[in-house]
């Protein structure tokens, strides 16, 4: 009976060593292709806040909505203010002698991405009467 227990114990030890060797082989392969970085929670949170601040204040080239889920096509009636409340638009203009020569009437809200018709001087309310 004692020999049977030694045989079972030996088999368990061999099995454990076999799987331990597989784990070590996997870890070596993992570290060959990947690097592991360790951060303190506070440091990681500070990095996330800094990244969020950079996303919240984009440069003028990337001044566009993050997603277009709430964008609408409200072209037709010229408008100054988007239904989302923003009054900043992105549109194409042409300059001549340091002044706006002409501009395209399609414009996009930089906050939500809605497309609207740009107002022109003739669209002023007092000019309509």
Per-residue pLDDT tens digits of the chain, which is 129 residues long: 778 888 888 889 999 999 999 999 999 999 999 988 888 888 888 888 877 766 655 566 777 787 888 899 999 989 989 999 989 999 999 999 999 999 999 999 988 899 999 998 888 766 555
CB contact burial 61-92 (16+ within 10 A = b; e otherwise): eeeebeeeeebeeeeeeebeebeeeeeebeee
**Residue 34, CA atoms < 13 Å, CB-side half-sphere:** 7
Cα 91 to Cα 67: distance, rounded to the nearest angstrom:
18
Predicted confidence at residue 57, as pLDDT, reads 58
Predicted confidence at residue 46, as pLDDT, reads 85
Predicted confidence at residue 129, as pLDDT, reads 54
Predicted confidence at residue 128, as pLDDT, reads 52
E strands in 72-126: 73-78, 89-90, 93-96, 99-103, 106-109, 115-117
Terminal Cα distance for the chain, rounded: 111
Q: Is the distance from CB of 117 to CB of 78 less than 8 angstroms? A: yes
- Strand 73-78 and strand 93-96: the pairing is unpaired
């Amino acid at each position: 009976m004692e020999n049977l227990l030694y045989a079972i114990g030996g088999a368990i030890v061999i099995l454990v060593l076999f799987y331990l060797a597989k784990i070590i082989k996997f870890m070596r392969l993992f570290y060959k292709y990947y690097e592991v970085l360790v951060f303190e929670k506070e440091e990681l949170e500070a990095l996330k806040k800094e990244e969020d601040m950079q996303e919240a204040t984009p440069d003028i080239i990337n001044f566009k909505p993050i997603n277009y889920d709430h964008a609408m096509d409200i072209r037709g009636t010229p408008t100054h203010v988007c239904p989302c409340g923003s009054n900043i638009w992105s549109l194409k203009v042409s300059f001549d002698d340091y002044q706006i020569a002409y501009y395209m009437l399609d414009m996009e809200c930089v906050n939500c991405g809605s497309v609207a018709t740009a107002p022109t001087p003739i669209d002023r309310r007092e000019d309509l009467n």
